[in-house]
Structure 1
């Protein structure tokens, strides 16, 4: 199996299923607190409103009891009725405003969690994207973070005020009739034990359901991103069936959550009904016996409802919190991963002699570099291109080895991709990397960019081990044009300004002219604002490649890495591109990968790679005379 791509490692074969994502670790409640404390001021205000609402609610049964007593005695009600109406209105206003604030704060929690998750996700090491599916990562940002809202909107904060209401009602009921209270508490205790027993199952079921939603998102993303290949292969129905299986799996897990949650919902209702029936029956008997007045019985029943209501809120809060903790576990799994830059200081400290930049040292130097991709990340290398010349090169390599199966394709996961590679790229010169598919050419560029670090050996920039340099500083010195020339959705200007945000429109037009791409501006009245479509679908393959090169040229870095930069161009545009590259190559170091030797025969130095090793270095004429593999490649392409 070939090495994985270092240029777009998250882009997998559209038909590669991959392993399913497990549920991941479950979060603790303490991990949820920081998300809530970001909004502590408004939460304290909401809690204050909740307390006021609880006081207004607790006062209502007392007023009702007094109204009934006054009516029994035949006295005038006075202002009690208006006071009761005022308390009801105040409770309703407080409840409505509190609900709005909770919804608003809940959205704030979702926003802050998404910001934190996206910030960490886009700083993850490239190796993490090799082993994770894009759709599942998107699901964590969209679906999982949304569940955090439920913690606020479904009763957690309201439970604070509800607790006051519960305790106040409990004390009032104790004063009114301890016997009725004892029977009520017995019924409620059974319901609380039941809910606590079910809460753990809700968390597990919710976490598994979110994992299945991630599977579904990954399948949809794969099918949509490869829709043209799917259509051309008459595989539409099969992909629909695959997505349907994942959708059914998500539905099944959602049903599991619904089943467990459905057991919690009626518990509060049953507790209220049984408590009400017990109070009504026993209370009626005690009224008949003279142990309790009708006014006190009515007040007790009203307090009973007030005690049961926050209990229902607490049950809802338990269910919502457990679902949120299941989703938070998946969020925290990503947030706890180390950032790409976290290892810089440790690596730098482990290198005894960091070195000093030298103007006389080579721009880039590889010194006995050994590298292997993580076993889980081994997929298609970007050296494996659909270009006909690349396929021919691979066949020549296989024939020379006496085997029809290319050795690179038989590489096992975890096997070294580079095996003691050493070469130098002189400052201000052009160095070409050539060789069969899977030889490790694109891997070399990925290592220069520090998408990965070598397992042994060293890579030096101007005499300094690049592992001692911050990645941002290193990458600011390098322009990188990937093999598949990725284009971001947006406009032409958006793509050009990706690495040069301060460039002017004139600068953009200048580099477009340099790569013979001004016709794209002419055919759309929006000019630089013309949309390029998802992944640049509104541009041809050659135009996408030229736009990617223009993006690199705009930043004017001292080092340019070009991975098959002319593979999608026709002869005319290839020649124009070579002239453009020649123009910008002055005073710059170029490292170029090419399968078509005609594009690199005039390079200052050509490095020939085979099976992760350097088998020859020199000029075109020197290599034709001394390296059999290079001679075979040149002969096939009519260059000798």
Structure 2
């Protein structure tokens, strides 16, 4: 499939992707050091029991040749075989259990970091790629433990023990096979770098595929309505092809390891049979010693084969770990916070104040917004404000929101309204100026306390999969069923509660698909009302409501707003006419502040917006 079929929304990536070292893998393993020590001990015990077996077999053959009684030898051999098998089985169980635990702990660590990343990272990254790192990338860490690394101590003992035994049996025969094994080991060492690079590229391709699938499924109704199903299938299929080709490169690199180990064993056997046969014929070596030597040869090659497999699996794991570590190395949202303790509010200060605030979105976030615009969807509506010609979204914005007042923000699309609420919530920090909460710079207020001060209703009113109650309790986990029912009926969602026998436990479906757009918006407002924060931030919260429901909603907001501060991004004239003050924005600047009648008289832009009922 040609590159022309690649999705236009796939991000470019490097060929090898992020890289990791074995040292970065150690913390994941050392979390389970106790079990790994037990595995190593069992590995040593199994190795000793295995090394004894060729010696016993050689002794049995020698006694058979001389006609001597076997006595306890045969039973001892059987006992050692059974014992080493039992130890190996328990060791295998511990390895599988520990491998699963490593995957679990790495996923928990990665999930924790992702959920604490700054919002700018989500704006700049693909959701599907982050999901892929939690899913498929962490799974590759499992192979590190289950394919030879954890039992390397026992394998090393087995290798050294077999080497020493073979040296005692016949040093000449041992020297004949050392060269073959050395060439094999060197070949695998060279291949390991190719495996790591190919695996990293494969995981990048899988991440891009997961992102493409997530995007297509998440907008399936839009895709179907636009008649774009076949085009999306082709675009996502191109990503699947990329992942397939990357997987083939990994398979090619890994496949070379298998014949190297096989060739080493076969060549060693041929050398032993040829040279050993001549030495038996010359009387320098007995048949029993040759058989024992051959058995030790197998014990020598087994750890090598295991080591070769471990090199391949570790190479793949390090490729995946590079992508995991890339996220773990990202700073959390509060990494650079300067707050040591919450500052005291300033008496008489406005609830919120903007002081010459300037802001520009990071380049990566702007690229993500442009990418979203290409596919006619806005994945992050706080990025809906278009940058001004010089790249700034806000350019010297100043206004006050008195405590207990209702302030409306109006202006054309892209004027900076949604960005103002994003800055208040500290999804981003201003690039210039300051935002004050009760007279204190919000950067000097602990984020938890800051956000507890706000009830925030986003423009797209996201709904979580689950039930009505799950959505309501997102910000109020201790709310009672009665409180949940009360706020739902206050925002005119009583009919949804009464649709079936489950009441507030009625499922809403993935992304609230079982609710209408207006119902999702009302549910988001109900969630903010239930939290009863002192300041409400409403981003065009009535835009999806009809006239009757809008009136009911305004009554509910009016009731709960008593004694609270409101900042409302206005979509309809009815939302702003009774505001204490209206802030008019245009291209990131405040061009007017006043009441409805004052602005109609003094600000031409507002007059024009009012004439069109603010529907911009």
Compute the TM-score of the two structures, normalised by the length of structure 1: 0.91
Q: Secondary structure at the match of 1:206?
A: helix
Match of 1:260 in 2: 253
Alignment partners' CA distance in 2, 1:510 and 1:233:
40
Matches within 5 A, 1:380-529: 380=369, 411=388, 415-529=391-505
Distance 1:226 1:631, change over 3 A: same
Match of 2:381 in 1: none
Alignment partners' CA distance in 2, 1:158 and 1:81:
29
1:362 to 346, 350, 353: 350
Alignment partners' CA distance in 1, 2:113 and 2:149:
28
Deviations 1:376-396 (A, max 9, x none): 212559xx9xxxxxxxxxxxx
Match of 2:379 in 1: none
Deviates more, 1:150-159 or 1:303-312: 150-159
Q: Secondary structure at the match of 1:344?
A: coil
Match of 2:608 in 1: 632
Match of 1:328 in 2: 321
Alignment partners' CA distance in 1, 2:499 and 2:318:
52
8 Å contact 1:180–1:279 — kept in the other structure? yes
Q: Secondary structure at the match of 1:590?
A: strand
8 Å contact 2:385–2:416 — kept in the other structure? no
Deviations 1:289-340 (A, max 9, x none): 1101111111000000000001000000000001000000000000000000
Q: Does 2:297 correspond to 1:304?
A: yes
Match of 1:276 in 2: 269
Deviations 1:228-282 (A, max 9, x none): 0000011000100011111011000100010011111111111001001100111
8 Å contact 1:493–1:529 — kept in the other structure? yes
Alignment partners' CA distance in 2, 1:29 and 1:193:
19
Offset at residue 19 of structure 1 (A) = 2.1
Deviations 1:515-574 (A, max 9, x none): 111111100211111110110000001100000001011110000000001000110000
Compute the TM-score of the two structures, normalised by the length of structure 2: 0.94
Alignment partners' CA distance in 1, 2:556 and 2:137:
48
1:615 to 568, 591, 596: 591
Deviations 1:404-459 (A, max 9, x none): xxx986845x7000000000111001000000000000000000000000011110
RMSD: 1.8
Matches within 5 A, 1:72-221: 72-221=65-214
Offset at residue 18 of structure 1 (A) = 4.9
Offset at residue 599 of structure 1 (A) = 1.2
Alignment partners' CA distance in 2, 1:21 and 1:117:
21
Offset at residue 71 of structure 1 (A) = 0.7
Q: Does 2:240 correspond to 1:247?
A: yes
Distance 1:62 1:410, change over 3 A: closer
8 Å contact 1:438–1:611 — kept in the other structure? yes
Q: Secondary structure at the match of 1:343?
A: coil
Distance 1:291 1:16, change over 3 A: closer
Instruction: Give structure 1 stretches of 5+ with no counterpart.
Output: 1-14, 385-406
Alignment partners' CA distance in 2, 1:246 and 1:20:
12
Alignment partners' CA distance in 2, 1:380 and 1:120:
23
Q: Secondary structure at the match of 1:292?
A: coil
Match of 1:19 in 2: 11
Alignment partners' CA distance in 1, 2:287 and 2:400:
98
Distance 1:50 1:638, change over 3 A: closer
Alignment partners' CA distance in 2, 1:24 and 1:576:
54
Q: Does 2:47 correspond to 1:54?
A: yes
8 Å contact 1:439–1:609 — kept in the other structure? yes
